[in-house]
Structure formats: C-alpha cells, structure tokens
Structure 1
Amino acid sequence: MRLRTPSMQRRLTLWLGVIALLASSLAGALLFWTLKQEVQRQEITEARGKAELIEHLVGMQSHTPQALSDILDGIQAGHGHLGIWITSPDGTLRYGNATPEVLSVTDGGEVLLRNADDTRMRGVRLTLPGPPEAGATLTVAVNTLANARFLYAYGTALLLICALWIGATVVLAAWAVRRTLAPVRRLSGQAASIQPEHLDVRLPVVGIDRELSDLVASFNRTLDRLQEAYQQMEGFNADVAHELRTPLATLINGAQVTLSSPRSAEELREALASNLEELEDLKTLVNDMLFLARADRGEQAADLAPARLEQEALRVAEYFEATLEAQALHVAVQDSATCAANPGLVRRALANLLANAIRATPRGEGHGLGLAIVRAIARMHNGGVTAASGPAGTEIGFSLGARPAQDDKRVIRATD
C-alpha cells in the first residue's frame, strides 16, 4: 500500500476548517441557548402577569364561584395558548380542564407541565388570598408548542448557516493557504533547477518572507559547501590523473621494452626490480592521495602531545643526512618552540618540506604532492602554510594553530 505524502497545504486547510467548525459550533450553540432562555423568560413573564392580574381581581372583593369563573373565562378569551387552573386545598379542581402532569416546580413557583396530548406548558403557581376558597392554588401556564416550533426552525436555519460558513471558510482557507505557500513552491522550483554544472547559482534572498529567509540562507550555505566539496573533488581527480600518468607510463614503457625482444633471466630480474621500484613509488603516491582526500574532508589531527619542534626538525634532518651531504647542503635549526601537535604528522610535514628543498633530480621524478601534504597537516592543526620570496631565495614553511575544543569531527592519527 502506498502511503500518501504529507501535505502542508492540506494540513493547514484542515486545521482552519476544524477551527471554523469549532468556532461556528460554539457561536451557534451560544446564540441558540441565548434565544431559548429569552423565549422561556417571556413565557414565564406572560404567565406571571396573568397570574398577578387574577390574584389582584380576586383580592379586590369576594366573588362567587360562578363570578370567578366568568372572570377567568374573560381573561382566557383570545388566548388559546393560555391555561388556568384553580385547585382547592384538598386537591379538588375548581376551575380548568383536566389538571396536566407536573414535570417540575421551582422554589420561585415556576412550573413545567405536560398535557394529555404531550404538549408542554410553562408558567407559575401561587396561592389565592381570598374567597371563594381561601388558600386555593392558582396555576397559570403558557403552551410552549408555538415557541418550540420557532426554536426548531431557528436551530435548523442556524445549522444550515454554520454549514455554509464552514464550507466557505474551508474553500477560502485552501485558496489563502495556496497563495501563502506560493513562495515555497517558487523556491522549490528554483532549487530543482540548479544543475551540477551550475553550482554557483544561489536562491534569491531579496524579497523573501521573513519565515523563509533562514531556510534560504541555510540552503545557500549548503550549496556553498557542496560547491567547495565538488571543486575539491574535481581538483583531486585531476591530481590523481596527473600524478598517476607518469608512473603508469613508465611501467607500460618498461614492460613494452622488456617484451620487445628475448631477454635473459638476469635482464628479466632487473626489469622486475625496476618495475618494483616504480610500484613502490606508486604505492607511496596512492597513500599520499588517500591522506589528502581524508584531510580535504575536514578530519583533524588526533593524539596531540607537547612537541618540541626543534627536536623534531633535528630528527628529520638526521634522517636526510646522507642526501644532504651528497648535495653539499646544510640544515640549521634556529630557536625553539613547543606546541600541542601530533609528532608523527609534524615530522611528516617537515620531511616533505626538506625533501622538496633538497630535491635535485630531473623533472618528472617523484610526485608533486609534498607541499600539498604539508598544507593538509598544517590545516589539521588549525594552521596554514607560508611562502615568501626574497634576495636570499624562496622561504616556505607552515604554522600550527591552537587546537579547538574536541567535537564530533573525524580524526587522523600518524606514526613514524
């Protein structure tokens, strides 16, 4: 089963729709409840007004039961939704039709009744002060059927309006979200158009929304690092091709010469020895290239220890003593310094510098990675290489910087 790709546009539209649903439901429920409370209050007010009128008329003078009945008939005339009941203290119905079922009575005398036809009536109940029967209970209630129908129609209309409002909100939200995310789509298209041969192209940072500026800046910095790595890889590939070409050509030419005519066992042995020497040089070249590749990935020197640089320089000079004597050269070590460094890497850098300085072999012998290795070792120690030309000649050296706090970078270890 293929899972659907998450969509920010769908998610935002859904959340806006949910918010619209909750807001509309809350507002609709509040409006309906407020109207319902107002309708019930008006029903109670109407019933209480009629009850107080009857109480006032009864209290003004004594009435015979027939006279009281005539008064109540007159009050009820034209008010078909109004119900009046008078019950004597012993529970005998003195006026009105069959007594409806009492559903609830409040301390304030408000009652809720149910007729035989299952319609509800809401009103008040109080005690009459005088004849024809002192202490009789008067109940006046208003039929709620008409108001219930009104509330039902109002609630239906409110639900329809809320549904239309939610639908319109979702449509408008989808449109607004799509327009809001248009810059993201444009940036995505621009990022997709960047090809390997155009790694110098960057996403525009002018006119970008503030929420996207950090993302664009981070993406451009990533492209900077990618371009730098790509250029380093291209340079490394070119160096590999250039440096391997000479030893491979030497091996091929030597093999062709050896195979061009019959050779004695001694001649074959000499040819193999020559090839072995070339292969040893080729092995050294490959190891140096691998070392440079690891250094280009940002690896740092490890196993740092206090290193006395003058002692390391003297050890390297002693190693090259025979070569120096053959070239009638002299090595002078001036001053002294101690720093935290990898002694093996420091000696390797010094050896490469010294080898480049004393090399007097014809052009093409050896490989030209010595100074590149010196630069890589200096960079592993947060330093750099220096070069200066003057009347006395060209001076080339390297510096070792302070080591930063240990982080998650890979490290390189070296041994003699």
Structure 2
Amino acid sequence: MTLTARLTVLYTLVSAAVLLGLGVLVAWSTHQHFIDLDRDYLLDKVHLIQKIVDETPDAAELSAKLNELLDSHHGLFIAITRGEEQLFGPSSITFPAELAARSAADQPMDWPDGERQLRGMSTELSAVRAPGGVASPVRTMRLTLALDTQHHTHFMHMLRQQLAIYVVLATLLSGLLGWWAARSGLAPLRIMKERALKVTAHKLDQRMPIEAVPVEMAELANSLNTMLERLEQDFAKLMDFSSDIAHELRTPISNLLTQTQVSLSQHRDPDTYRDILASNAEEFQRLARMVADMLFLAKTDHGIQLPNREDVALEDEVASLLDFYDAVAEDKELRLRVVGAGSVVGDRLMIRRAISNLLSNALRHAHPRTDVELAIDAQGGGTNLCVTNAGDPIDASDLPRLFDRFYRVDKARAHPASDGAGLGLAITKAIMIAHGGSASVTSAAGTTRFCLQFPGPQGPLSLRVSSSQPQRTVSAE
C-alpha cells in the first residue's frame, strides 16, 4: 500500500471508531433519558393515585375515578391490592411477581407482555379507612402501575437506524477527506520525487526544495541535498580521475607503440634493438609503478589494516631518507635541515614512504640555494612532521585538491624533470588515514609546508614522543 492509502485507511478507521462511539453514546443517553422521563411520569401518577385513595374511601367510587384516570392516560395500567385481595386491576396484562420487590425510588422495571413492551414500578399506599366505608384500622395497600413504552421502542429503533446510516456515510466522507488531506500533505514528497527523477549521471545539480516542504520533511530534504552534493563532488572527481588516468596511461603506451613501430619499420643492428628494449623497459617500469600505486589506493578506499605495528622513530627514518636524497639536494644546491624528534606506532615502510613523498615533492619544487626543513614536533597530544620549502606559491584554489589522485597544479602536465603520475600526495594522505592521522598543506609568501599529523595516545594508535630535540643540518652548497 502507498503511504497515502495507509494514511487514508488509518484516518478512516479512527473516524469510524470515533463516530461509532459517538453513536453509542447518543443512543445510550437517549435511552436513559426516556427511562428518567418514564420514572418521573410513574412517580407523578403514584402521587396522584395516593391522593385519590386518600380522598375516596368508597371502593366503587375509587374504581370509577381510577378508570377515569386510565381513560385520560393511554398506555397506563394500574393494579391495587391489599394483602391477597385485589381492589383494582386490569385483566389485559400480567405484572411480574419480582416487580413487588422494587420500591418507587428504584429504577423502573422493563418486561415484555406479548407484543407490548412495558415499564413499571410498585409501591405501598396508606389508607385512612378501608374502601367500602367500614371503619377499620389503617391497612397498607400496594400500588403497581405500568406504562406501555412501544412509542419509545419505535423511536429508539428509528434513532439507531439513523445513527447507523450517519456513521456509515460520515465514515465514508471522513475517508474521502482523509485521502484528500493525506494527498495534499504528501505533496512535498511528490515534488521531491520529481526532483529525484531528474537526477542523472550528467545532471547532479538538482536539489530538494527545503523552503517548500513542511518542517518535518525539511531535515529529510536537507539530508538528501547533502547526499546529492557529495555525489556531485565525488562524481566530478571520478570523471576527472577517469580523464587523468587515461591521459597518464596514454603517454607511456604511445611511447611504447611508437618505438616498437619504428623499430619494426626496418632492419636494425642488435645495439639499436637493445637501446629500444631498454627504453621500453623504463616505460614498463613507469606503468608498473603507476598500477601498483593505484592498487594501493584502491585498497585504502575499502580500509586497510597496517601490516606491521611497531615503534617508529621519525628522526631515524628522516635521517635514512636524507642519506638517499643528499645527491638530489646537492644537484639543486639545496640545504636539508632536520629539527626535533619523536616516535609513533605504525608501519615503518608506509611511514617512510609518506615522508619520502613529501621530501621528494619539496626537493622538486624548491628554489635553488634555499633550505628544505623537516620539523618534528609534539603538539596537542600528537606528533606533527612538517616539510617546508621555499618555492613558487600554490594558488589557494588548488590547495584543497593537491591530495587528489592525478591532480597537478600544472594544467599543461609538462614535467620533463619528473616521471611521477601525480599519485604521491594521494598515497601520503591514504597512509595517514590508515594510521588514524591526517595530512595538510599551506602555501603563502613563497613558502609551502606539508604536514603529517599523527594521533596521540587517545587516537587509534599509541604514541611515544622523545623528550630530546636534536637538530641535524645537511649542507649541499
């Protein structure tokens, strides 16, 4: 069932229950009202008959007055007894024996008599003298009277029929109004549905109308808008990634294909073939590194467990890398400086790779005859390792995307001095996420700084920071 149908059925059932309860209440109240009216009517006749009995000691005269009373009150039946003697009574009805046990103050008693429905009561009368004029002690007489309630029964039957018809019609009307109310109330959902149907892979800019929906749906619309915004951003990144990877793979493949076709175009000597194969091997190595890096990033997307966890002294790893990059720094007339020390728990090879990516990036873009500084510092319960170099500033619009895959600030992709595929910073960020940390970058006033933030003891990995702060300087001037 649709939500509109469910709300309609629920509203109809609630309305039927309320209307049915109201109908029962009306019928019961009307019935009780008739009982009260009949009781008051019978009590009034009890007082009237008591007065007639008090004023009429003669039995014949008493019967005449009571018959006259019955003639003027249709549907009223009276019986007067004294002991076992019946002084007055109708022969057309039979009073039940249990009626005599009730007093006038009690509720009247109902009973059927053939096709008639009677309601009556019984009470005691006091006579000053016995009817017939003969002086006698005061004798107690019992008065029993009944009223034909056929007109009440007919009215109640008609009332119940009318109430039943009203309840049915009102329930149907309530169901119709409930359907209209549910459909109108869910109109914002239909608007959101129409907007959602317009969302395609090439049209992710649709947003839910938050201002046009009720407050209860505003949070849902806002959540959907947030989801669409994330999808739009991720899809844009995926499109860029597809374009970038196609570009990165096209270059080495084109080189391999061109060299192979040229070498096959004519017969060459073995040395020439050997040079061509060596050049092709370099391109294959580049492709292999790119594929390995992409596989590593694919694993990080699904979450990876650190292969080995051990205490890693950051200053030792940096020192090992400086020994490796000394030649590069010397070629560019750069000076490498290391400040501070600290240890973290993590995978040694992965941490070294992250630091190596930042260091090679800094050496590649640093201006000649400047310093490249690696600073290790404990801050806020964690440890930061920052690599700073002096070079061309990076535009603020490019900073948020530096850690994206295949992203380069140089839109022309001209990198004659580097065979990198633009995955180094993305791998660095993935390694930091695997260690529960983060990576960040700032660039201003000709200084660019990349920082790795390792978590403290309260983070996912434990941390041990050295108290000593040694400094090492490698001069390559």
- Cα distance in 2 between the residues matched to 1:344 and 1:280: 21
In structure 1, the residue matched to 2:386 is: none
Residue identity in the other structure for 1:123: G
- Cα distance in 2 between the residues matched to 1:116 and 1:389: 113
Alpha-carbon contact 2:78-2:145 (below 8 Å) kept: yes
In structure 1, the residue matched to 2:116 is: 119
CA-CA distance at 1:50 after TM superposition = 1.5
Is 1:370 the counterpart of 2:424? The answer is yes
Is 1:90 the counterpart of 2:84? The answer is yes
**Structure 1 residues 236 and 147: CA distance shift in structure 2, 3 A:** same
Residue identity in the other structure for 1:129: S
In structure 1, the residue matched to 2:338 is: 334
In structure 2, the residue matched to 1:414 is: none
Alignment of 1:392-403 (within 5 A): 395=448, 397-400=450-453, 402=455
Q: Tell which deviates more after alignment, 152-161 or 369-378.
A: 369-378
In structure 2, the residue matched to 1:170 is: 175
Residue identity in the other structure for 2:61: A
Residue identity in the other structure for 2:68: G
Residue identity in the other structure for 2:36: R
Alpha-carbon contact 1:36-1:151 (below 8 Å) kept: yes
Over aligned residue pairs, what C-alpha RMSD do you find?
Answer: 3.5
- Cα distance in 2 between the residues matched to 1:200 and 1:113: 78
In structure 1, the residue matched to 2:396 is: none
1:255 to 253, 260, 265: 260
Alpha-carbon contact 2:439-2:450 (below 8 Å) kept: no
Alpha-carbon contact 2:116-2:150 (below 8 Å) kept: yes
Post-superposition Cα deviations, 1:235-293, rounded to whole Å, max 9, x if no partner, equal 22122112111221232234334444467888777766654443332121112123345
Alpha-carbon contact 1:103-1:112 (below 8 Å) kept: no
Is 1:69 the counterpart of 2:69? The answer is no
- Cα distance in 1 between the residues matched to 2:202 and 2:131: 110
**Structure 1 residues 125 and 375: CA distance shift in structure 2, 3 A:** closer
- Cα distance in 1 between the residues matched to 2:419 and 2:95: 119
- Cα distance in 2 between the residues matched to 1:103 and 1:215: 74
In structure 2, the residue matched to 1:46 is: 41
- Cα distance in 2 between the residues matched to 1:395 and 1:48: 108
**Structure 1 residues 181 and 57: CA distance shift in structure 2, 3 A:** same
2:316 match: secondary structure: helix
Alpha-carbon contact 1:385-1:399 (below 8 Å) kept: no
CA-CA distance at 1:340 after TM superposition = 3.9
Post-superposition Cα deviations, 1:109-168, rounded to whole Å, max 9, x if no partner, equal 455354542422112212232324933422111011111001111121122222222222
CA-CA distance at 1:300 after TM superposition = 8.0
CA-CA distance at 1:309 after TM superposition = 2.4
In structure 1, the residue matched to 2:21 is: 26
Aligned-pair identity in percent equals 28
**Structure 1 residues 37 and 318: CA distance shift in structure 2, 3 A:** same
2:121 match: secondary structure: strand
In structure 2, the residue matched to 1:410 is: none
CA-CA distance at 1:72 after TM superposition = 1.5
Alpha-carbon contact 1:254-1:271 (below 8 Å) kept: yes
**Structure 1 residues 185 and 272: CA distance shift in structure 2, 3 A:** same
**Structure 1 residues 334 and 304: CA distance shift in structure 2, 3 A:** same
CA-CA distance at 1:376 after TM superposition = 4.5
Q: Tell which deviates more after alignment, 83-92 or 255-264.
A: 255-264
**Structure 1 residues 212 and 165: CA distance shift in structure 2, 3 A:** same
Alpha-carbon contact 2:314-2:344 (below 8 Å) kept: no
Residue identity in the other structure for 2:421: H
- Cα distance in 2 between the residues matched to 1:214 and 1:298: 29
1:80 match: secondary structure: coil
- Cα distance in 2 between the residues matched to 1:112 and 1:74: 25
Q: Tell which deviates more after alignment, 192-201 or 233-242.
A: 192-201
**Structure 1 residues 73 and 12: CA distance shift in structure 2, 3 A:** same
- Cα distance in 2 between the residues matched to 1:68 and 1:114: 28
- Cα distance in 1 between the residues matched to 2:416 and 2:126: 138
1:100 match: secondary structure: coil
**Structure 1 residues 364 and 306: CA distance shift in structure 2, 3 A:** closer
CA-CA distance at 1:212 after TM superposition = 1.7
Alignment of 1:240-319 (within 5 A): 240-261=245-266, 275-293=280-298, 297=301, 307-319=312-324
**Structure 1 residues 356 and 175: CA distance shift in structure 2, 3 A:** closer
2:72 to 78, 93, 103: 78
Alpha-carbon contact 1:102-1:112 (below 8 Å) kept: no
- Cα distance in 2 between the residues matched to 1:140 and 1:116: 14
Post-superposition Cα deviations, 1:356-398, rounded to whole Å, max 9, x if no partner, equal 45669945745343344345545662221344564xxx75533
- Cα distance in 2 between the residues matched to 1:139 and 1:112: 11
Q: 5+ unaligned residues in a row in structure 1: which ranges?
A: 1-5, 408-416
Q: 5+ unaligned residues in a row in structure 2: which ranges?
A: 133-138, 366-414, 462-477
What TM-score do the two structures reach when normalised by structure 2? 0.72
1:146 to 141, 151, 159: 151
- Cα distance in 2 between the residues matched to 1:149 and 1:257: 113
CA-CA distance at 1:351 after TM superposition = 1.9
In structure 1, the residue matched to 2:472 is: none
CA-CA distance at 1:101 after TM superposition = 4.9
CA-CA distance at 1:187 after TM superposition = 2.0
CA-CA distance at 1:70 after TM superposition = 1.4
CA-CA distance at 1:75 after TM superposition = 0.9
CA-CA distance at 1:336 after TM superposition = 1.6
Alpha-carbon contact 2:8-2:179 (below 8 Å) kept: yes
Higher fraction of strand: 2
Alpha-carbon contact 1:112-1:120 (below 8 Å) kept: no
1:286 match: secondary structure: helix
Post-superposition Cα deviations, 1:177-203, rounded to whole Å, max 9, x if no partner, equal 222221221122122223322323323
Higher fraction of helix: 1
